[in-house]
Amino acid sequence: MRSVGLVIVSHSEKLAEGVVELTAQMARDVALRTAAGTDDGRIGTSFDKVNDAVTELREAGHDVVILTDLGSATMTVEAVLDFLDDDEREHIVFAEGPLVEGAVAAGVAAQVGGDLASVAQAARARELFA
């Protein structure tokens, strides 16, 4: 079974780094990547940053769960996913859910050896931290 890594997509580099820092406290062995801000360092999202983070995890042999902070980040992720072939898409899931709680829950699920589907489900489960 492949391990699952997470990509945190945010408009803010600081926010994404904070989510990764928090998630790493509960999921020390999980590959975590950020894709945050624009290519020139402003608030926003970048197709290239998302694509690069996903590619890096895939090349390292991980399946990938992607989480986002806001609607336009979602559109960026969807654009990246549209460019993938069907074989690659089988190993990548965009999990719409709460960013912080979803990342921590997904990280814990990945830490204990969850597969792609169970890690994505954990990311979507809003009630875990209610």
Q: What is the pLDDT of residues 77-124, one digit of tens each?
A: 999 999 999 999 999 999 998 999 999 999 999 999 999 999 999 999
Are 37 and 12 in contact by the 8 Å Cβ rule? The answer is: yes
Instruction: Mention the CATH class of domain 4-129.
Output: alpha beta
Q: Is 11 a catalytic residue?
A: yes
Question: Catalytic pick from 5, 11, 27, 63?
Answer: 11
The pTM (predicted TM-score) of the whole model is 0.94
Give the tens place of pLDDT for each residue, 40-57: 999 999 999 999 999 999
Q: How is the chain split among helix, strand and coil, in percent rounded to 5?
A: 55, 15, 30
pLDDT of residue 125: 85
- From its phi and psi, is residue 75 left (phi > 0), alpha (psi between -120 and 50) or beta? alpha
**Which residues are bridge partners to 10 per DSSP?**
36
